Amino acid sequence: MLKPNKYTSVDLSVLFVSYELLKIFKSRKVIAYSDLLNQVLSVRGENTRKLFLPALSFLYLLGRIEYHKKEDVIEFKHEN
């Protein structure tokens, strides 16, 4: 588990990476896993690689995304 402390940078947090993912999903509702990872890394840098999966898990637990294994894509779920 990644625990914040007083030295933790806000830019390197699960919530911030989740926000970056949601910004990407705003323009594309369905995106391949590798494309999503590459877009996040190009915007926020290599330091966000370790936070990518926890951020995806966070969004999945909130019911905001769904993974389609057969196509290897992640779909953004709209609010009802």
Task: Give the residue, 2 or 11, on which the prediction is more confident.
Answer: 11
- pTM here is 0.82
Report pLDDT for 7.
79
Going from the N-terminus, what domains does the chain have, and what CATH number goes with each? Answer: 12-76 (1.10.10.10)
By the 10 Å C-beta count (0-12 exposed, 13-18 middle, 19+ buried), 76 is classed as: middle
Contact 17, 69 (CB under 8 A): no
| Average pLDDT of span 55-66 | 94
**Buried/exposed 18-39: b ≥16 CB within 10 Å, e otherwise:** bebbeebbeeeeebeeeebbeb
Residue 67 binned pLDDT confidence (cut-offs 50, 70, 90): very high
How high is the mean pLDDT of the chain? 88
| Residue 38 one-letter amino acid | N
